[in-house]
Amino acid sequence: MSTAFDAGNGKITVPDIASRKSSTPNSRASSSGNSQSNSEKRKIVCLTAYDYPTARFVDEAGVDIVLVGDSLGMVALGYENTLPLTMEEMLHHTRAVRRGVRKAMLVADMPYGSFHGDKREAVRNAVRFVKEAGAEGVKIEGGERRMELIAQLVEAEIPVMGHIGLTPQSMHAFGGFRVQGKSVEAAEQLLRDARAVEAAGAFSVVVESVPRELAARITSELRIPTIGIGAGPECDGQILVLHDMIGLSVGHTPKFARRYANVGEAIRNAVGAYADDVHEGRFPSDEESYHLSSEVRERLLAVRRS
């Protein structure tokens, strides 16, 4: 069993994340002079990771939360969507990420089907992420309809990150990957979802693919931090899929996924250069080869001659 490293020495914990909430209109009115102002609160930086090396690099770069997202299924395992991903696949990758993450808080995504039926089974599945894979919290897609489950998980000492807006596990119900909350009714539903997730005890909530103005309103209403993805800059933090932001994902990437590197092209170029070197006999060089001592070489030659 793998476990999280002890708190202290810069380890990011749930209370650290909660303390990064920009003040809400209500808390501003009642705040004493010694609380941090909004401009002093550092935004929460989150990224996904799915394996040991990327987890190490992402953690060493100083992110606050590493999410083993179920985007794993699409960007690293080649599924068409997130729906086929299993508990065992998620656990396997969460363990690998656990081994690479030292400072950031580690959150695991509950895959489709692992929390949609019996609540006791859902709690058991969430417990597996903590006990068997060292996660420090789980993420659950869905708003109002997940209230009871979120409360049960919190009761079982499992910190929960909510996820509202475009929840990819609802892709069939939504009719695809579409921006959510664009009509008055849809926006009101999203506000209800956000309030419900908070009331149930989630420590933060991902707000995905919603108009900036609505995400700002949700952020100003909630006491828990909002983590935006395609939800504008007013959220308390931001999350992206690592493979999208480093240019390692195959196929369409959404417009909010700013690309900071082109690792896919770097891999293609490196592999092309390697193949050319092999074909042309330039790889390996003599320096990249091991050598026999002159004594062994002599004796070997003698054996061959006799």
**Of these residues, 136, 141, 198, 208, which one is catalytic?**
208
Which residues between 173 and 212 bind ligand KIV (CB under 6 A)? 206
- Contact track, ligand KIV, 19-48, x by CB under 6 A: -----------------------------x
Regarding 69 and contact with ligand KIV (CB under 6 A), the answer is yes
Which residues between 250 and 269 bind ligand KIV (CB under 6 A)? none
Is omega for the bond preceding 168 within 30 degrees of 0, making it cis?
Answer: no
- Pick from 146, 96, 149, 144: which is nearest to 122 by CA? 149
Window contacting ligand KIV (CB under 6 A); options: 2-10, 13-21, 68-76, 251-259: 68-76
Binds ligand KIV (CB under 6 A): choice among 50, 59, 96, 109 = 109
> Which residues in 259-286 are b (16+ Cβ under 10 Å) and which e?
eeeebeeeeeeeeeeeeeeeeeeeeeee
| Side chain identity at residue 99, one-letter code | R
Tally: H helices and E strands in the chain: 13, 8
Between strands 65-68 and 160-165, the pairing is: unpaired
Between strands 160-165 and 204-208, the pairing is: parallel
Angle at 134 between CA 129 and CA 136, to 5 degrees: 80
Regarding 229 and contact with ligand KIV (CB under 6 A), the answer is yes
**Taking CB positions, which residue lies at the least distance from ligand KIV?**
69
Nearer to ligand KIV, 120 or 252 (CB): 252
Which residues between 121 and 150 bind ligand KIV (CB under 6 A)? none
Nearer to ligand KIV, 61 or 271 (CB): 61
User: Residue 274 CB, nearest distance to ligand KIV (Å)?
Assistant: 31
Regarding 241 and contact with ligand KIV (CB under 6 A), the answer is yes
Alpha carbon distance, N-terminus to C-terminus of the chain: 58
CB 247 within 8 A of CB 261: yes
Residue 80 annotated to the active site: no
Q: Which residues are catalytic?
A: 208
The residues of the shown chain that bind ligand KIV, judged by CB under 6 A, are: 48, 67, 69-71, 109, 206, 229, 239, 241
